[in-house]
């Protein structure tokens, strides 16, 4: 069932014929954003050089991963997609069974040398698998393929949500659904799925952990419980609102430096940024994100092969949604679901995954003229 | 699953995806507009509101606990004060290797196993960014040594705080009482505003009775804090007002003399100034060290104190209830005179007394009897038979009425909280409390202060003061004045009007007093050994109260009775007899006869008061002599 598209252009030619597969604007944008991120992390961590060094090291590692992934030809990537996805499912199941309990949640798999979050793999695995599934035939996908895609989307999300990691589960579903949407799935199919999801909502709600339910409820009125589940939202909004147009200045945010903002290096890092740099800084940072997303969407637009196009578009939109969900959560538009700010938040595997995604996009884009 | 015609469909696929990409782009635009709108609302439209909230977050009001007032005796001797103590606190979050830090601190400061264990236990209960007490009482030397090496220990702070100290410890424990940490139970009773920042409150004794005066007023401090409440800097402060100083009527020197005179015995001595009711000495032995209770006594020491058969925690002077024995005989004598009985009428004492129509014998303490005795002889020699006869003649209700007027079995109204009454038995009381009829024999033994009758040492001292005052009942008081430490102004407590008992100042009193003088100075007085050669004239009465009822007619050798079942020795006295300056009551538990044990104690106290004290005052050149 493997396609024959790889044959006319052996990979050796690809390598020898072109430069390393890098997209200048994208890399520049990523580096600029990472630099911003380091600045904010330095302030948010209470000016800790230890945190800075760790984040820098992680950044370097991520960039290396990005460049390495960019060298993988899209054809190979596509053939690997289903295996990658199945392997991810297997590991997620393993985590559930023998999972290492960290932070009260079974998210980490301890391999002795490194601990990593298998759900991170799925951030790539789900869009890859959906894109692979839907591009086996011509688009738009048939209803049966849409249903199959839904299974591919929901199964890992279920495995992640029981860990329990609601934020990641939602983002996994969004990334898969975005690919499904970009593939041109018929509106009536999408509407039907929405109807089914709405019908299932009460049941799913009852299966959520109490703290997750509370978070969603307090979204509508965080002030109802200012010291409980509304605390995060409120302190974050105070930080942002008190900044004004120009902000309180770098390293001078009282909300963050006096430790009113929780998780200020990770999920709420944007609040620290907004407090210190004000609306002007927010606009600048949003512009940078929009530029990156825009660049990726342009890349998706120009790529000729459907799998790569779907994958790039899906990953780019996922990237945007990470950004949007995080900033919306921090500014009190969305409930606190625990989604990091891409490229800026302090933390382990998510940055590597993200850079790998950029690598995939660049690898596909720089090979856009190659026909399969 | 073979793909159909890849080339033909590719452009169709591209068109589909590109269309959806355009939709995605519009979605991005819409969402970004929403997001920026949201930030505009937060950062520009509602900026003022959030800026205020942010300020509120940072600014915190901190209480400044007041300094508790001191307690001083009538001569200005400090009985309770506040000492600066050094405390070593650790913020574990700021320390890398806790074990090593503790070891290094241990080289500078004496850290006991218990200190470390308690520290580690608290560490588990409270967050690591909070200061935890490592050692709460450093010596001056330790504090100095540590402060030299302070630079090596970031996160370890040496702080000075005030600690309640009772310099005389056990001597004044039962009067002054002690403060202790405010407990969960206390917090429900107290005003949380008044106790902001205060960790201790009066638990017992005067520390409890005058809690409001001693406490002072908490101040406030405006500080900038972080989310964990750590103070970053002070913005504004409104200082606290120190508590008032209590000046007591107590004479700690006299108190010491009285306590030493009591020696190893369990018992109580209360010395009053009869004209005012001022309590000069208030002794209850055994006692305990109140300093142990200030920061929480360790369970083992507390168990020992609580379970000791000697009951050192009980203040016998107001909570000890004893049969008064013969010490009430002067009151009965007054009743007889007041009821116009003839004091010269003699009663024959063969050594026992029987009621008509009964052959139960009530024995006199003197087995061979006193022969014919009148009232004067009966008091001087403490003849029981005379008073059996007297009680029988007066009847229990008249006896109880007169005892009550002297304050026996009544709440004295001293300024210590929860003072109990004694027990003044009447037929009415017995019917109500025990559903039993009153027997004539019970009237007889009430005549010598036995039976149901129970008094506290304080009540007995008050009754003695009534005799010394020739009929004026005073309310005993421990507080002489309340001093505002800032202005030095002393407020005196409102004088409580002293009640005169009926027929006060009657010539009958002079007769009773002369009879009591004879107890000490008469040739047959029961306490003549204690009155011999005193340069002042003392009036008194001995008493010996049975702890167990000895069956009539049975022989018993005092030495064979177990210590706890031996008689209590009592003595009441005042002096000088003509113009009394002090009146006292002494109860010595299980010490045998009042004349042998209790009366010499009174002599020591009086000698100090009338001779030694004045000599010392003259030597120290002090112009003012109290009392």
> In the structure, what pLDDT confidence band is assigned to residue A116 with cuts at 50, 70 and 90?
low
Question: In this predicted model, what pLDDT tens digit does every residue of A282-303 receive, in sequence order?
Answer: 999 999 999 999 999 999 988 8
Residue B74, in any domain of the structure: yes
The Cα of A95 is separated from the nearest Cα of chain B by a number of Å equal to 31
- Mean per-residue pLDDT of chain B: 86
Say yes or no for a CB contact (<8 Å) between B1 and A327.
no
Of B222, B248, B274, at which residue does a domain stop?
A: B248
**Higher per-residue confidence, A4 vs B533:** B533
Give yes or no: residues B384 and B522 share one domain. Answer: yes
pLDDT for A222 beyond 70: no
Q: Which residues pair with B572 in a beta bridge?
A: B541, B585
More confident residue, A106 or A179: A179
pLDDT at A278: 92
Q: With cut-offs at 50, 70 and 90, classify the pLDDT of residue A253.
A: confident
For residue B626, pLDDT beyond 70:
no
Residues of A in contact with B16 (CB under 8 A): 139-140, 183-184
Q: Which domain holds residue B348?
A: 252-288+315-619
> What is the pLDDT averaged over residues B141-162?
83
- DSSP line for B500-545: EPTTTT-HHHHHHHHHHHHHHHSTT-TTHHHHTT-SS--EEEEEEE
How high is the pLDDT of residue B15? 85
| Confidence check: pLDDT of A96 > 70 | yes
Residues B160 and B186 in one domain: yes
Res. B625 pLDDT band, cuts 50 70 90: very low
Residues of B in contact with A3 (CB under 8 A): 3
| Angle between helical axes of B329-338 and B457-468 (0-180°, round to 10) | 40
Mean pLDDT of B584-605: 91
Looking at residue B29, what DSSP letter applies? H
pLDDT tops 90 at residue B122:
no
Question: Best interface-test mutation with A: which of B7, B11, B16, B37 has the largest number of A CBs within 10 A?
Answer: B16
In a domain, B336, yes or no: yes
- Could you tell me if B200 and B267 lie in one domain? no
Check whether residue B354 and residue B426 sit in a common domain: yes
List B160's β-bridge partners, or say none.
B86
> Binning pLDDT at 50, 70 and 90, where does residue B106 land?
confident
Q: What is the dihedral of CA A137, A140, A146, A148, to 10 degrees?
A: 10
CB contact under 8 A, B54 and A238: yes
- B276: CATH: 3.40.710.10
**B219 and B352 belong to one structural domain:** no
Give residue limits of the domains in chain A.
21-71+222-372, 76-209
ipTM of the complex: 0.87
B224 and B329 co-located in one domain: no
Q: Which residue of A has its CA nearest to B1?
A: A1
Helix (H, G, I), strand (E, B), or coil: what is residue B221? strand
Q: Is the pLDDT of residue A88 over 50?
A: yes
Span of A111-115, A361-365, B207-211, B388-392 with lowest mean pLDDT: A111-115
Contact A313 B4 (CB under 8 A): no
Distance from CA of B43 to the nearest CA of A (A): 4
How far from chain centre, in Å, is Cα B31? 73
What pLDDT, on a 0 to 100 scale, did the predictor assign at position B1? 41
Same domain, B378 and B449: yes
| Whole-number Å distance between alpha carbons of B276 and B47 | 70
Average pLDDT of span B123-136: 73
Q: pLDDT band at A248, cuts 50/70/90?
A: confident
In a domain, B484, yes or no: yes
Which of residues B198, B219, B248 is at a domain's end? Answer: B248
**pLDDT score for A13:** 37
Burial tier of B130 (Cβ tally within 10 Å: 0-12, 13-18, 19+): middle
φ, ψ (nearest 5 deg) of residue B271: -115, 130
Mean pLDDT for the stretch of residues B110-138: 78
What percent of chain A shows pLDDT beyond 70?
84
Poorest-pLDDT segment among A214-218, B37-41, B109-113, B414-418: A214-218
Partner B contacted by A244 (CB < 8 A): yes
CATH number of the domain that residue B231 is part of: 3.90.1310.10
Confidence of residue B541 (pLDDT cuts 50, 70, 90): very high
- DSSP letter string, A104-169: TEEEEEE-SS-EE-HHHHHHHHHHHHHHHHHTTSPSSPPHHHHHHHHHHHHHHHHHHHTTT-HHHH
pLDDT band at A25 (very low <50, low <70, confident <90, very high): very high
Mean pLDDT throughout A28-38? 92
Q: Is residue B408 part of a domain?
A: yes
So what's the pLDDT on residue A47?
82
Percent of chain B with pLDDT over 70: 91
Catalytic residues of B: 326
Do both B367 and B390 map to the same domain? yes
Tokens 């424990």 belong to B173
Contact B484, B594 (CB under 8 A): no
pLDDT averaged over every residue in chain A: 82
The domain boundary, picked from B196, B218, B248, lies at B248
pLDDT at B2: 42
Q: Are residues B378 and B483 in the same domain?
A: yes
Lowest mean pLDDT across A242-256, B185-199, B358-372:
B185-199
Question: Would you say residue B602 has pLDDT above 70?
Answer: yes
- A174 reaches B (C-beta below 8 A): no
Mean local confidence (pLDDT), A41-69: 89
Residue A25 has a CB neighbour count (10 Å cut-off) of: 13
Residues B262 and B133 placed together within one structural domain of the fold: no
Structure tokens at B174: 């039962």
- pLDDT value for B31: 95
Q: Which of A203-207, A243-247, B247-251 has the lowest average pLDDT? A: A203-207
Tell me if B297 is assigned to some domain. no
Identify the pLDDT of residue B557.
Answer: 58
Q: Is the pLDDT of residue A100 over 60?
A: no
CB proximity list for B573: less than 8 A, separation 6 or greater: B464, B516, B520, B538, B539, B540, B541, B583, B584, B599, B602, B606
Beta-strand pair B245-248/B479-483: antiparallel
Residue B182 pLDDT class (50, 70, 90 cuts): confident
A235 touches chain B (CB under 8 A): yes
Contact list in B for residue A140 (CB cut-off 8 A) is: 16
* Lowest pLDDT segment from A328-332, B261-265, B494-498: B494-498
Please check whether residues B240 and B326 belong to one and the same domain: no
Say which residue the tokens 């600029």 belong to.
Answer: A32
The count of domains in chain B is 2
**B198 phi/psi in degrees, rounded to 5:** -90, 135
**Residue B500 shares a structural domain with residue B518:** yes
A vs B: CB pairs below 8 A:
151
Cα–Cα distance for residue pair B566/B594, rounded to 1 Å: 12
Confidence at residue A228, expressed as pLDDT on a 0 to 100 scale:
55
Residue B326 lies in a domain: yes
């Amino acid at each position: 069932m493997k396609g024959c598209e790889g044959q006319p252009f052996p990979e050796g030619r690809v390598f020898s014929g072109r430069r390393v597969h890098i997209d200048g604007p994208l890399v520049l944008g990523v580096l600029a954003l990472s630099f911003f991120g380091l600045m904010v992390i330095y302030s948010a961590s209470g000016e800790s050089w230890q945190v800075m060094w760790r984040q820098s090291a992680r950044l370097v590692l991520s960039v290396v991963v990005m460049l390495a992934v960019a060298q993988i030809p899209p054809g190979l990537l596509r053939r690997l997609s289903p295996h990658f996805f199945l392997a991810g499912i297997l590991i997620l199941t393993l985590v559930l069974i023998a999972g290492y309990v960290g932070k009260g949640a079974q998210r980490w798999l301890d391999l002795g040398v490194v601990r990593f979050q298998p759900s991170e793999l799925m951030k790539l695995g789900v869009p890859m698998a959906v894109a692979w599934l839907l591009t086996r035939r011509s688009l738009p996908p048939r209803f049966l393929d849409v249903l199959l895609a839904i299974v591919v989307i929901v199964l890992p999300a279920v495995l992640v949500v029981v860990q329990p990691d609601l934020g990641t589960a939602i983002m996994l579903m969004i990334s898969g659904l975005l690919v499904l949407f970009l593939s041109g799935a018929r509106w009536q199919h999408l509407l039907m799925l929405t109807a089914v999801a709405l019908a299932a909502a009460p049941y799913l709600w009852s299966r959520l952990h109490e703290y997750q339910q509370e978070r969603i409820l307090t979204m509508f009125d965080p002030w109802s419980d200012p010291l409980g589940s509304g605390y995060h939202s409120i302190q974050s909004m105070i930080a942002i609102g008190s900044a004004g147009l120009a902000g309180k200045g770098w390293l001078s945010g009282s909300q963050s430096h006096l430790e009113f903002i929780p998780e200020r290096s990770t999920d709420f890092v944007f609040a620290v940024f907004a407090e210190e740099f004000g609306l002007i800084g927010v606009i600048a940072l949003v512009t940078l994100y929009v530029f990156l997303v825009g660049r990726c969407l342009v890349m998706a637009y120009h790529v000729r092969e459907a799998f790569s196009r779907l994958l790039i578009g899906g990953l780019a939109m996922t990237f945007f949604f990470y950004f949007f969900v995080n900033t919306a959560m921090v500014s009190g538009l969305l409930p606190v679901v625990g989604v990091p700010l891409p490229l800026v938040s302090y933390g382990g595997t998510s940055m590597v995954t993200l850079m790998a995604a950029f690598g995939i996009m660049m690898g596909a884009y720089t090979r856009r003229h190659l026909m399969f | 699953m073979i793909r159909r015609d890849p080339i033909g469909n590719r452009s169709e696929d591209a068109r589909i995806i590109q269309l959806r990409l355009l939709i995605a782009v519009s979605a991005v635009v819409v969402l970004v507009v929403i997001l920026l709108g949201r930030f505009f609302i937060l950062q520009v439209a509602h900026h003022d509101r959030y800026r205020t909230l942010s300020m509120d977050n940072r600014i915190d009001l901190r209480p400044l606990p007041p300094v508790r007032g001191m307690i001083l005796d009538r001569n200005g001797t400090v009985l309770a004060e506040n000492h600066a103590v050094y405390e070593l606190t650790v913020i574990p979050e700021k320390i890398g290797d806790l074990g090593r830090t503790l070891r290094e601190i241990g080289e500078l400061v004496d850290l006991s196993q218990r200190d470390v264990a308690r520290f580690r236990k608290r560490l588990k209960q409270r967050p690591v960014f909070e200061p935890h007490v490592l050692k709460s009482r450093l010596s001056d030397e330790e504090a100095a040594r540590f402060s030299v090496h302070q630079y090596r220990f970031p996160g370890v702070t040496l702080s000075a705080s005030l600690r309640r100290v009772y310099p005389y410890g056990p001597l004044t424990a039962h009067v002054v009482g002690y403060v202790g940490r405010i407990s969960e139970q206390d917090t429900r009773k107290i005003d949380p505003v008044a106790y902001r920042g205060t960790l201790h409150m009066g638990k017992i004794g005067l520390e409890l009775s005058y809690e409001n005066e001693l406490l002072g007023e908490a101040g406030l401090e405006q500080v900038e804090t972080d989310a964990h409440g750590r103070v970053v800097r002070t913005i504004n402060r409104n200082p606290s007002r120190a508590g008032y100083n209590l000046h007591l009527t107590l004479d700690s020197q006299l108190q010491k003399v009285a306590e030493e005179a009591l020696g190893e015995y369990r018992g109580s001595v209360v010395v009053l100034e009869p004209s005012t009711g001022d309590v000069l000495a208030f002794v209850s032995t055994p006692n305990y060290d109140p300093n142990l209770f200030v920061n929480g006594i360790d369970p083992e020491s507390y168990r020992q104190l609580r379970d000791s058969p000697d009951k050192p925690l009980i203040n016998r002077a107001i909570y000890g209830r004893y049969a008064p024995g013969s010490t009430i005989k002067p009151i009965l004598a007054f009743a007889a005179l007041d009821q116009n009985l003839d004091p010269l009428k003699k009663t024959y004492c063969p050594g026992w007394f029987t009621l008509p129509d009964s052959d139960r014998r009530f024995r006199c303490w003197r087995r061979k009897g006193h022969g014919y005795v009148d009232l004067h002889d009966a008091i001087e020699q403490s003849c029981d038979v005379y008073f059996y006869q007297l009680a029988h003649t007066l009847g229990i209700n008249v006896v109880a009425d007169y005892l009550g007027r002297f304050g026996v079995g009544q709440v004295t109204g001293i300024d210590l909280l929860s003072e109990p009454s004694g027990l003044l038995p009447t037929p009415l009381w017995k019917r109500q409390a025990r559903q039993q009829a009153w027997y004539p024999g019970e009237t007889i033994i009430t005549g010598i202060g036995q039976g149901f009758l129970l008094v506290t040492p304080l009540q007995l001292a008050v009754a003695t003061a009534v005799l010394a005052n020739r009929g004026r009942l005073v309310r005993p008081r421990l507080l002489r004045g309340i001093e505002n430490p800032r202005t030095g102004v002393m407020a005196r407590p409102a004088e409580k009007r002293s009640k005169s008992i009926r027929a006060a100042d009657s010539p009958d009193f002079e007769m009773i007093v002369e009879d009591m003088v004879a107890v000490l100075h008469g040739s047959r007085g029961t306490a003549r050994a204690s009155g011999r050669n005193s340069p002042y004239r003392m009036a008194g009465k001995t008493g010996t109260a049975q702890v167990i009822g000895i069956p009539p007619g049975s022989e018993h050798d005092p030495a064979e009775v177990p210590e706890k079942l031996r008689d209590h020795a009592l003595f009441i006295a005042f002096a000088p007899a003509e113009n009394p300056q002090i009146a006292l009551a002494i109860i010595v538990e299980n010490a045998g006869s009042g004349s042998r044990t209790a009366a010499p104690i009174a002599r020591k106290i009086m000698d100090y008061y009338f001779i030694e004290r004045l000599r010392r005052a003259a030597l120290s050149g002090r112009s003012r002599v109290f009392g």
